[in-house]
Amino acid sequence: MAPRSGTTGSAKDKKRISRYMQEIRDIAKAGLSRRELFRMGLVAGGAGLAALQGVRGFKPYWAHADNSLQFRSPRNTPFVDPLPIPPVMQPVTLNPSPTKGPNPVRSAVTGFPEAGRPDHQRWEQFLPVTMYESVEKAVQHDFYPDIDGVPPSTVWTFVEPSTGSVGPLRIKARYGEPVLHRVHNALPTDNGGFGINKTSTHLHNGHNASESDGGPLHFYEAGQFKDYHWPNVRAGFSKNIPESSWNGRTVQGDVLETMSFLWFHDHMHDFTAQNTYKGLVSLYTLFSDDINLDTDDETIGLRLPSGEYDIPMVIADKVFDPGTGQLFFDLFNLDGMLGDKDTVNGVIQPYLEVKRRKYRFRLLVGGPSRVYEFFLSNGQSFLQISTDGNLLPRPLSRRSMRLQVAERVDVIVDFSKTSIGEKIYLQNRLEQNDGRAPTGKIIAPTDLVEFRVVGDARDDSRVPAALLDLPNRNVPIAKKRSWKFDRSGGAWSVNGQFFDPDVFSAVIRQNNAEIWSFESAGGWVHPGHPHMEEFQILDRDGKPPRVEEVARKDMLGVGDSVFGTDNSSNARIFIQFRDWLGNYPMHCHNTVHEDHGMMILFNVVA
Amino acid sequence: MDRRRFLGVTATAALGLAALSTLPGSPDRPEKNGYADPSAEERRRNRFLDVPLVTHEGRKVRFYSDLIKGRTIFLNFLYTVCTAEAICPLGTANLVEVQKILGRRVGRDVFMYSITLDPKNDTPQVLKSYARAFGVKPGWTFLTGEKEDIERLRHNLGYVDIDPVRDKDPSQHSGMLRYGIEPLELWAGCPILSRPDVIARHLAWMEPREGMSNRAGGGLY
C-alpha cells in the first residue's frame, strides 16, 4: 500500500517505494509475468510508481453513504418506563479462591475453568480484598415499554449470580481495596444475528496490569472464566511518587491521579462494537474515602451528592428491526453506525422522578459511533465536576457538553429551584448524519430522559469551589510519538499502517513520560484512547487547550466538530507509562473503526 | 472434585448447569402482535442479495444461495485494470498467500470470492486469465455479472463512499476484506493488505472452540 504520510522526498518515501517494489517482486514470484503486469497498467517502466506519486497529498474523505440505515426503528412512546438504576454489585466469597496464575480448579458456580493468562503482576502487594463475580449471558430485554407491543430483544449482558442482578451493573470500588472481578463467559454460539461469544472485559481508564486490562487480544472462549485484578491504586506508586498526601492522609501513589468514574465493557478483537452494542457494558465508580475526597457520603469529604442521588447513565443509540422489533446491528457498515433511538441504561426515553435537591449524574456516551451534546431543556446549566471520570481542578458551569464515544462527565444538576410537577429533559442537540463526524450544528432537541420533579428531600451535599489539582507535568520527556488516524483504500489505518497483532508500534520503558500527538485526516472524527494511563492535553492545533480540557483525560477526539463546527485535526498529550508491564492497545473508540483495524499495540518494558 | 461431571462440560453444555439456569434470562417470549418471530434463516437470507453472477469459469450462480449460504468465506471487490495505489493486484497477491496458508481448507470449508467492480471489461475470460496469472488455486472464485447487480451488491456489502464522486471511483472500494462464518452469523473485516498470516488468524479467532480447556483464545499477552 501507499501510506499517505504527507512527507515528501524523505527517507520514508524511499522506504515506501522500495517496499512497494518488493511487493511487486512478490507478485511476480507469485507467477505474474511482466507482460501481464503491464497489461494491468502496473509497472513496466514505472506506471505503478507514477500512480503512487499521483496519490501523494491526496486528502481522503471516505464515508459510508447515508450510513446505511435502510429502515426506521418502530415508534416508541416516550417516558413510560423509569430510568433503570444500575444495581450495585455485592462482594462475594469466590469458590475457588483466586490464584496468582490461572486457577487450577473449576468454578463452583459455572463449572468453567479459568482461561489461560500470565500470572497477576504485583499479586502479593495488592492481594484482593473485595471480590465480585459476574456471568456474561444472553437475556431477553425490553428496550421499549410494554404498551408499544414491541417484543423484547436478546441482549448479552453481565449478570450477577449471587443476586440475579442484570446489567448494566455498577461496582462501587474504593481506593486501598484491591478488587478481583471473576467474569464467566456463558454466551451462546447462537448470536441472534450479531456478536461473538468470545470476550475480554476492559476496565476503561483502569490503571491495571496488562493481563487484567482486557485488551482485544486477551480474549477467552465461552465456557471459561477469567479473574481480573483491579488493585485500585494510584499511578506513580512504584517509582516516582511512592506516597503522597491529601487532607492530611498519606497513601500510595499520586493522590492527584485519583479517579472516580470508569466503566467496563467487552473489547473482543473485531467484535467490540457488536458485543458492547449487544449490551456488554457496566459501570465502575471508584471512591477515595481513604483521602477523604470523593467518599460516597455527602456528609464527609467533598460532600458531593451521594447514594441514591449519584446516578450513572449510559447513553447509547440503537436501531431496531421494524419487522421483528429486534435490536439490529449493521454488520457491513465501515464508517460508524448511527441509531435512531437513544437508550439510557438500556431503555428508550425513560423518566426519572427527582427531588428538589442536587444530583450527581455520571454521563457516559456508550457508542458505537455517535457524538452527543447534552443540554437541559429549562436552559439551566450543568455544574461539571469531572471529565472522563477524573475530578476537575474546579467545577465548571456548562450550558452544554459535547462528548465523543467513551467520554464521560460527572455533572451536578440542582433541581432545588424547580417546582413540584415540573418536567425537565436531558437533551441531545447535536446534528450527526453519518459516521464521519457530527456537523457541529445545534438542532432541535431530542429528549433523552424526562426528569419529573416529585417532592423535596434533605440535601447535605455541597459543591466545593476546588476539587483536585492536576498532577505535575514537569518531568523529563523520554520520547515524542505521533499517531495519524487515516483511511487507505477503504481501510482504516494508523500512521499508514494496518493493525498487526505481532507488531508493537511503540516499545516504552516503564515509568517514562512521553508526548504523543494525534492527528485525524480528512475531517473524520476519531476519539483516540490509549489504555493503561490517563493523560493531559498540552495543546490543540498549536493552541492551549480550552478550559474544559484542562483536565486528566483518557479520550482525545480529533477531527471535525470536536468543538462548535470547527475542525481540530491534531492535539498533543502528556502521558506516562508507570507501574505496570506488558502490552496495551491505543485505538479509535468509534468502535466500528476500531474493529476494522484502527488500532496499534504498545509494549511497556522494564 | 467430581471429574466425571466436569469432563462432560463443554462451553455449551455448561450453560445447562443448574447454577446458571437459576439466573434470570431466557424467559418465554411473550406474544406481541404485529411483529414476526425472528427466524435465523430469514435474517441470514435477508442480509444478502441473491443476485445472479457469473464465475470466472463461466458458471451461472446466485450470490447468496450458491456462494454464501452455509459457508465460511472471504470476500473482496477488485477490477483487473486497477492501478490506483496498486491495491487490487497487491491485494490479490496477498490473498494468494492467505490461500496458501489455509491450504486444503480452501474449496472444502473455506471459500474465497473476488467480485469485479468493472463487469464491462472483466468478462469471465479476463477474470480467468487474471486468476491464472496470480496462481489462484481452486476454491477461490472470481465473479462478474450485470453492472446493476454488482452495484447493488457493492452497496449491500458496505463498499460505498459518502462522497458521490469518490463513490464512482472503483479504486476506493478495493482495500477492505470481509470474512464471515455465515451459518453462525459472524461477520468482520480487515484491510486487504494486512499480513496474510494475520488475515488467516482473524478467521481462526472467529471460529468456535467449544470444550477448549484452560487456554486463552487470542493469548497474545
Say whether pLDDT at A37 is over 80. Answer: no
- Provide the CATH number for the domain around residue A538: 2.60.40.420
Within a domain: A26: yes
- Confidence band (pLDDT; 50, 70, 90) for B20? very low
How far is the C-alpha of A177 from the C-alpha of A226, rounded, in Å? Answer: 20
| Cβ atoms of residues A129 and A178 within 8 Å | yes
ipTM of the prediction: 0.87
C-alpha cell at A163: 443476586
| Cβ atoms of residues A563 and A569 within 8 Å | no
pLDDT at A54: 28
Using the Cα atoms of residue B143, residue B147, residue B151 and residue B156 in order, give the sign of their dihedral. negative
CB contact under 8 A, A55 and B84: yes
Q: Pick from B162, B186, B201: which is nearest to A65 by CB?
A: B162
Residue range A366-389: average pLDDT? Answer: 97
Residue range A183-194: average pLDDT? Answer: 96
Q: Pick from B15, B86, B158: which is nearest to A333 by CB?
A: B158
Q: Pick from B32, B35, B218: which is nearest to A218 by CB?
A: B218
pLDDT at B163: 80
Question: Among B44, B53, B59, which residue's Cα sits nearest to residue B148?
Answer: B53
Place of cell 485488551: A215
pLDDT at B37: 82
Model pTM?
A: 0.88
pLDDT at B162: 80
- Confidence band (pLDDT; 50, 70, 90) for A20? very low
Say whether pLDDT at B86 is over 80. Answer: no
- Confidence band (pLDDT; 50, 70, 90) for A107? very high
| Cβ atoms of residues A466 and A385 within 8 Å | no
Where does residue A274 fall: left (phi above 0), alpha (psi -120 to 50 degrees), or beta otherwise? Answer: alpha
Identify which has the larger pLDDT, B39 or A558. Answer: A558
CB contacts, 8 Å: A596 with chain B: 176, 189-191
What phi and psi values does residue B187 have, to the nearest 5 degrees? -135, 135
CB contact under 8 A, A224 and B212: yes
Q: Chain A: give the shortest CA distance to residue B50, in Å.
A: 16
CB contact under 8 A, A51 and B86: yes
Nearest chain B residue (CA) to A499: B194
pLDDT at B2: 36
Virtual CA dihedral for A228, A234, A236, A242, nearest 10 degrees?
-110
Within a domain: A162: no
- Confidence band (pLDDT; 50, 70, 90) for A348? very high
Within a domain: B12: no
pLDDT at A184: 98
Residue range A475-486: average pLDDT? Answer: 97
pLDDT at A61: 19
| Cβ atoms of residues B196 and A470 within 8 Å | no
Within a domain: B4: no
Within a domain: B20: no
| Cβ atoms of residues A543 and A507 within 8 Å | no
Identify which has the larger pLDDT, B6 or A343. Answer: A343
Place of cell 463449572: A111
Identify which has the larger pLDDT, B169 or B206. Answer: B206
Beta strands in A388-522 (DSSP E): 390-398, 401-403, 408-414, 423-430, 442-455, 477-488, 491-494, 504-509, 513-520
- The Cα-based distances of B118 to B64, B126, B165, B173 in angstroms read 20, 11, 17, 12
Place of cell 481452486: B138
pLDDT > 70 in chain A, percent = 88
Residue A113 DSSP symbol: P
CB contact under 8 A, B210 and A200: no
Say whether pLDDT at B26 is over 90. Answer: no
- Confidence band (pLDDT; 50, 70, 90) for A23? low
How far is the C-alpha of B86 from the C-alpha of A178, rounded, in Å? Answer: 53
CB contacts, 8 Å: A113 with chain B: 213-214
Q: Domain range for residue A47?
A: 11-54
Angle, to 10 degrees, between the axis of helix B196-206 and the axis of helix B87-102? 60
Domains in chain A, number: 2
- Confidence band (pLDDT; 50, 70, 90) for B39? confident
Q: Domain range for residue B75?
A: 40-184+192-203
- The type of residue at A55 is V
Nearest chain B residue (CA) to A34: B133
- The type of residue at A188 is P
Q: Which of A372-376, A400-404, B28-32 has the lowest mean pLDDT?
A: B28-32
Q: What is the mean pLDDT of chain B?
A: 83
Say whether pLDDT at B101 is over 70. Answer: yes
Residue range A131-150: average pLDDT? Answer: 97
| Cβ atoms of residues A493 and B191 within 8 Å | yes
pLDDT at B220: 64
pLDDT at B170: 87
Within a domain: B35: no
Half-sphere exposure of A554 (CA within 13 A, CB side): 30
Q: Chain A: give the shortest CA distance to residue B51, in Å.
A: 18
Using the Cα atoms of residue A381, residue A387, residue A390 and residue A396 in order, give the sign of their dihedral. negative
Within a domain: A429: no
Say whether pLDDT at B24 is over 50. Answer: no
Question: Among A505, A162, A554, A502, which residue's Cα sits nearest to residue A364?
Answer: A554
Domains in chain B, number: 1
Q: Which of A43-57, A390-404, B125-139 has the lowest mean pLDDT?
A: A43-57
Residue range A365-376: average pLDDT? Answer: 97
Within a domain: B210: no
| Cβ atoms of residues A518 and A436 within 8 Å | no
- Confidence band (pLDDT; 50, 70, 90) for A22? low
Within a domain: A506: yes
Q: Pick from B87, B215, B216: which is nearest to A1 by CB?
A: B87
How far is the C-alpha of A406 from the C-alpha of A412, rounded, in Å? Answer: 20
Chosen for mutation from B116, B132, B160, B163 (greatest number of chain A CBs closer than 10 Å) is B160
Say whether pLDDT at A230 is over 60. Answer: yes
Within a domain: B96: yes
Inter-chain contacts counted by CB atoms under 8 A, chains A and B = 311
- Confidence band (pLDDT; 50, 70, 90) for A15? low
pLDDT at A72: 80
Chosen for mutation from A24, A29, A40 (greatest number of chain B CBs closer than 10 Å) is A40
Q: Pick from B30, B40, B161: which is nearest to A62 by CB?
A: B161
How far is the C-alpha of B71 from the C-alpha of B73, rounded, in Å? Answer: 6
- Confidence band (pLDDT; 50, 70, 90) for A557? very high
pLDDT > 70 in chain B, percent = 78
- The type of residue at B160 is V
What phi and psi values does residue B4 have, to the nearest 5 degrees? -60, -40
How far is the C-alpha of B34 from the C-alpha of A55, rounded, in Å? Answer: 53
CB contact under 8 A, B194 and A499: yes
How far is the C-alpha of A345 from the C-alpha of A196, rounded, in Å? Answer: 22
Within a domain: A549: yes
- Listed in sequence order, the residues at least 6 apart from B2 whose beta carbon sits closer than 8 Å to its beta carbon are none
C-alpha cell at A290: 481513604
Q: How many CB atoms lie within 10 A of CB A95?
A: 11
C-alpha cell at A603: 509494549
CB contact under 8 A, A41 and B83: yes
pLDDT at A600: 98
Residue range A509-535: average pLDDT? Answer: 96
Within a domain: A376: no
C-alpha cell at A405: 464515544
Say whether pLDDT at A64 is over 80. Answer: no
What phi and psi values does residue A318 have, to the nearest 5 degrees? -140, 165
Question: Of A306-310, A331-335, B10-14, where does the model show the most confidence?
Answer: A306-310
- Decide: residue A179, CB within 10 A, 0-12 exposed, 13-18 middle, 19+ buried: buried
Q: DSSP string spanning chain B? A: --HHHHHT--TTGGGGSHHHHTSS--PPPPP-TT-PPP-HHHHHHHHS---EEEETTS-EEEIIIIIITT-EEEEEEE-TT--GGGHHHHHHHHHHHHHHHHGGGBTTTEEEEEEES-TTT--HHHHHHHHHHTTPPTTEEEEE--HHHHHHHHHHTT---SSHHHHT-GGGGSSEEEEEEGGGTEEEEEETTS-HHHHHHHHHHHS--TT--S--SS---
Q: Pick from B24, B174, B217: which is nearest to A219 by CB?
A: B217
CA A598 to chain centre: 14
- Provide the CATH number for the domain around residue B168: 3.40.30.10
Helix (H, G, I), strand (E, B) or coil at A198: strand
C-alpha cell at A369: 459511533
Half-sphere exposure of A31 (CA within 13 A, CB side): 14
CB contact under 8 A, A47 and B83: yes
| Cβ atoms of residues A138 and B25 within 8 Å | yes
Q: Pick from B27, B85, B221: which is nearest to A489 by CB?
A: B85
Where does residue A582 fall: left (phi above 0), alpha (psi -120 to 50 degrees), or beta otherwise? Answer: left
Within a domain: A555: yes
CB contacts, 8 Å: A31 with chain B: 133-135
Strands A261-266 and A201-204: antiparallel
- Residue-wise pLDDT tens digits, A390-433: 999 999 999 999 999 999 999 999 999 999 999 999 999 999 98
pLDDT at B119: 97
pLDDT at A11: 60
CB contact under 8 A, B190 and A597: yes
CB contacts, 8 Å: A193 with chain B: 38, 40, 43, 185
CB contact under 8 A, B166 and A499: no
How far is the C-alpha of A522 from the C-alpha of A62, rounded, in Å? Answer: 8
- The type of residue at A1 is M
- Residue-wise pLDDT tens digits, A257-266: 999 999 999 9
Within a domain: A538: yes
| Cβ atoms of residues A530 and A588 within 8 Å | no
| Cβ atoms of residues A468 and A366 within 8 Å | no
